Amino acid sequence: MASTERAIEPETELARTRRARRIDRALAVRYPDAHCELDFSSPFELLVATVLSAQTTDVRVNLTTPVLFARFPDAAALAAANPEEVEEILRPTGFFRAKTKSVMGLSAALVERFGGDVPARLEDLVTLPGVGRKTANVVLGNAFGIPGITTDTHVMRLSQRLGYTTSDDPLVVEKVLDRLLPRADWTMASHRLIFHGRRTCFARRPACGACPIASSCPSAGMGEVDPVKATAMLKG
């Protein structure tokens, strides 16, 4: 069966930049409430929650972290915790032993190297156990107001579908989006792409017929094109 994905003419960098910014404006209209869906009240809580969000949902993490932070409210407390107690709390998030090692390790590193505080520099954040550029950019953008692109699975998938890049390397995708979008918009643009990926542009079958950016998307038509059926697919 022939693919319904339509080709577009090769773009200049200027044309792609204009299209990317047009798409981001349309997504801002569609998702005016786009935001980080992990609950947190401090940079430390967001850092830990983001590490825990790997291989599970934000909803599951938000159900787990209140118990964790009530028992271990800061880096010093979590670093000194009984690992078995932490494992039991984190069990519902999956991969709980590895996650326990990561959050306790990063807590110990925060105490030893940063006085228990979460640093506001990407170069420092990525030295912490279990913290990569994606997690660092989540923390910088949402806890410190420092713009950054979050290359989670939705951002990666949509960057390819929208024809921004063919790469599946998170660092390449981050740098491509850095070039296409204004720096001041990086954090919110990431949220909008994540919202769109979770609510409309699904991995298996996107709701193309109810997509606000279909006219600018080279992959439009790969999913459900009937507007009524597509609208019924939308989430959130």
Ramachandran assignment for 145, one of left (phi > 0), alpha (psi -120 to 50 degrees), beta (any other): left
> Which residue type does 116 have?
G
Average pLDDT over residues 97-105: 96
Exactly one of 152, 169, 185, 235 is catalytic; name it.
Answer: 152
Q: pLDDT tens across 177-221, in order?
A: 999 999 999 999 999 999 999 999 999 999 999 999 999 999 999
Residue-level pLDDT at 10: 79
Q: Do 201 and 233 form a contact (C-beta atoms < 8 A)?
A: no
CATH topology match: 13-30+150-233 vs 43-143: no
Residue-level pLDDT at 92: 96
Q: Please provide the CATH number assigned to the domain covering 43-143.
A: 1.10.340.30
Q: Is the pLDDT of residue 147 over 70?
A: yes
Mean pLDDT of the chain: 95
100 vs 71: CA distance, rounded Å: 14
Domain boundaries, the chain: 13-30+150-233, 43-143
Residue-level pLDDT at 74: 98
Exactly one of 124, 134, 185, 235 is catalytic; name it.
Answer: 134
Q: Is the pLDDT of residue 5 over 80?
A: no
* 152 flagged as catalytic: yes
The values of phi and psi at residue 21, to 5°, are -75, -35
Residue-level pLDDT at 9: 59
User: Cα–Cα distances in Å, from 195 out to 24, 30, 152, 172?
Assistant: 12, 10, 12, 21
Q: pLDDT tens across 113-125, in order?
A: 999 999 999 999 9
* 134 flagged as catalytic: yes
Q: pLDDT tens across 123-140, in order?
A: 999 999 999 999 999 999
Q: Which residue has the tokens 């960098």?
A: 13
Query: Domain 13-30+150-233 falls in which CATH fold?
Result: Endonuclease Iii, domain 2 (1.10.1670)
Pick the residue with more confidence: 37 or 3?
Answer: 37
Range of weakest confidence among 9-18, 49-58, 71-80:
9-18
Residues above pLDDT 70, as percent of the chain: 96
Q: Is the pLDDT of residue 8 over 60?
A: no
Residues above pLDDT 90, as percent of the chain: 94
Give the pair of three-digit tokens for residue 39: 């609950």
Residue-level pLDDT at 236: 80
